[in-house]
């Protein structure tokens, strides 16, 4: 509450009242009134404890009078909007104002009531100036509205490629240098959007809320595409991911549906009822990753991994891990003549191998190796032996079949004899009972 100095957001802890901050003096910025064409800023109150800057010339009485006038004029609107909270923040190089030609560092702010604020940041480029001058923030007045709480911001270039967030590695300049520590290459400032947007072509801003997604063209701030994601439920998680060399907006709804939308056209690509929200752990831990995958905690100790990409499903078997690493058996090295003749290793020989009949006519292994051909006498003997064995097995099978047929014939004759005997006894019983009356039984 910017009047009483209390934090009234349901998503944050109570905080103490902050004292009014006094600017540098009469030369500080003056509070200007909102023009008739400017959007209202009363909805931009967030969960953070706000402070009000007042000139030094204002006394306590004037402050109280101004507060009383503000409460008498808009107390109902202030009390109604105190439940608004900031839900997401995104830093990036964008166009803070419609008149900007080159992108500048900006802060995108999303609130729980679906409001999007664009705040330009003025950061000194020189390192020495950065240590002396502070970062200046000036609201640009750019306000966009969506349905539901804001969940995700993302930026695309004019070709539809995802622009990564700029970053710079922080290093402590006053840290003592260790001579034993290996020297590393210094990473420089990385800003992919600076090179892409240096010509002033602009870029696309993707904003996703709990119920709606919009694509804005910067710096004109015109809404190019809009899509209502769901009406009966709400989105729990939304991410801009790369799938099959393209980017899309992946959403996980509270009713268990996993949806994907194309970018920047926001055309529905997939809507699958995967898992209804039965555990709050899933809602807190669900996240999308690149390659058409998603992760969440199914239990306090288990991570569930799913995929919604056909390419990932086709390569799933190749991605599975193995307990052991398969290694081919190396081939044995061939021992040469000199190594076998002058080798220092002692070998145990058998007398039967040296002087027996089994070794007659065989040369030393270290001299030559006999490789029998397939067309020799031994091959013919093996082929003939195989044919004889096949004929013997066929004859045995025929004998067994004849025995089984004989047993079947004997059983058939026995059944026929039993049937004839039964027919004879039945005929005799019929003749015996034919001339008897009913009272004779």
Domain coordinates in residue numbering, the chain: 1-32+39-84, 388-428
pLDDT of 303: 92
> 277 Cβ partners below 8 Å, 6+ apart?
236, 254, 255, 256, 283
Half-sphere exposure of 39 (CA within 13 A, CB side): 14
Q: Please give the structure tokens belonging to residue 211.
A: 């119920």
Q: For a pLDDT cut of 90, what percent of the chain falls above it?
A: 23
Q: Kindly provide the b/e burial profile for residues 341-357, where b requires at least 16 CB atoms within 10 angstroms of the residue's own CB.
A: eeeeeeeeeeeeeeeee
Report pLDDT digits (tens) over 2-49: 444 444 444 344 444 343 443 343 333 343 434 444 444 333 333 333
Taking 50 as the threshold, does the pLDDT of residue 187 lie above it? no
**β-sheet bridge partners, residue 227:** 213
Report pLDDT digits (tens) over 47-95: 333 333 333 333 344 444 433 444 444 445 555 556 889 999 998 888 8
Greater model confidence, 126 or 191: 126
Report pLDDT digits (tens) over 262-280: 998 999 999 988 877 777 8
Closest CA to 40 of 111, 141, 149, 150: 141
d(CA 100, CA 106): 12
d(CA 215, CA 195): 22
DSSP structure string for 350-404: -HHHHHSGGGTTPPPTTT------TTSHHHHHHHHHHHHHHHHHHHHHHHHHHHH
Closest CA to 57 of 18, 87, 37, 28: 28
pLDDT of 59: 39
d(CA 353, CA 365): 12
> 133 Cβ partners below 8 Å, 6+ apart?
124
DSSP state of 162: B
pTM over 0.85? The answer is: no
Q: Please give the structure tokens belonging to residue 240.
A: 């801009």
Q: How confident is the model at residue 212 (pLDDT cuts 50, 70, 90)?
A: very high
pLDDT of 201: 75
Greater model confidence, 79 or 176: 176
The arithmetic mean of pLDDT across residues 124-152, rounded, is 83
| Look-up of token digits 């995967």 | 274
The arithmetic mean of pLDDT across residues 343-359, rounded, is 58
pLDDT of 336: 63
- Are the beta carbons of 287 and 237 closer than 8 angstroms? yes
Q: Please give the structure tokens belonging to residue 62.
A: 């004037």
> How many CB atoms within 10 Å of residue 76?
9
Greater model confidence, 344 or 153: 153
| Look-up of token digits 């013997």 | 392
- Are the beta carbons of 110 and 147 closer than 8 angstroms? no
- CA-based R_g, the chain, Å: 45
Greater model confidence, 344 or 283: 283
CA angle 89, 93, 98 (to 5 degrees): 100
Taking 70 as the threshold, does the pLDDT of residue 376 lie above it? no
Taking 70 as the threshold, does the pLDDT of residue 425 lie above it? yes
d(CA 347, CA 357): 21
Cis before 122? omega within 30? no
């Amino acid at each position: 509450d910017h009047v009483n100095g209390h934090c009234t957001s349901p998503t944050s802890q109570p905080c103490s009242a902050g004292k009014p901050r006094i600017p540098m003096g009469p030369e500080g910025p003056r509070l200007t009134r909102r023009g008739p064409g400017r959007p209202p800023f009363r909805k931009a109150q967030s969960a953070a404890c706000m402070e009000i800057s007042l000139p030094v010339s204002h006394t306590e009485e004037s402050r109280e009078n101004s507060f009383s006038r503000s409460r008498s004029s808009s107390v109902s609107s202030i009390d109604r909007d105190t439940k608004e909270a900031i839900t997401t923040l995104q830093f990036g190089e964008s166009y803070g104002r419609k008149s900007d030609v080159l992108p500048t560092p900006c802060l995108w702010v999303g609130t729980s009531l679906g409001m999007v604020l664009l705040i330009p940041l003025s950061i000194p480029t020189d390192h020495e100036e950065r240590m002396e001058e502070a970062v200046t923030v000036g609201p640009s007045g750019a306000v966009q509205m969506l349905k539901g709480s804001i969940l995700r911001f993302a930026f695309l270039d004019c070709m539809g490629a995802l622009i990564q967030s700029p970053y710079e590695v922080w290093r402590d300049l006053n840290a003592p240098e260790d001579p034993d520590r290996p020297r590393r290459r210094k990473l420089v400032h990385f800003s992919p959007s600076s090179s892409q947007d240096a010509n002033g072509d602009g870029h696309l801003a993707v904003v996703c809320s709990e119920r709606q997604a919009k694509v804005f063209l910067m710096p004109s701030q015109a809404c190019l595409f809009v899509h209502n994601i769901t009406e009966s439920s709400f989105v729990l998680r939304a991410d801009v991911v790369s799938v099959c060399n393209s980017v899309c907006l992946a959403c996980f709804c509270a009713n268990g549906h996993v949806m994907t939308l194309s970018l920047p056209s926001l055309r529905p690509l997939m809507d699958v009822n995967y898992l209804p929200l039965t555990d709050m752990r899933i809602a807190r831990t669900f996240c999308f990753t690149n390659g058409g995958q998603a992760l969440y905690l199914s239990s306090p100790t288990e991570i569930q991994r799913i995929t919604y990409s056909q390419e990932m499903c086709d390569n799933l078997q190749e991605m599975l891990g193995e307990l052991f690493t398969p290694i081919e058996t190396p081939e044995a090295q061939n021992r040469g003549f000199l190594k076998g003749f002058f080798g220092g290793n002692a070998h145990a020989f058998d007398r039967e191998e040296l002087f027996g009949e089994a070794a007659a006519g065989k040369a030393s292994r270290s001299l030559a190796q006999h490789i029998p051909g397939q067309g020799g006498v031994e091959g013919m003997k093996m082929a003939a032996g195989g044919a004889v064995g096949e004929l013997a097995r066929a004859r045995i099978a025929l004998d067994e079949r004849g025995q089984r047929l004989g047993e079947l014939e004997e059983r058939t004759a026995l059944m026929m004899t039993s049937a004839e005997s039964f027919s004879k006894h039945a005929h005799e019983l019929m003749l015996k009972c034919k001339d008897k009356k009913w009272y004779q039984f």
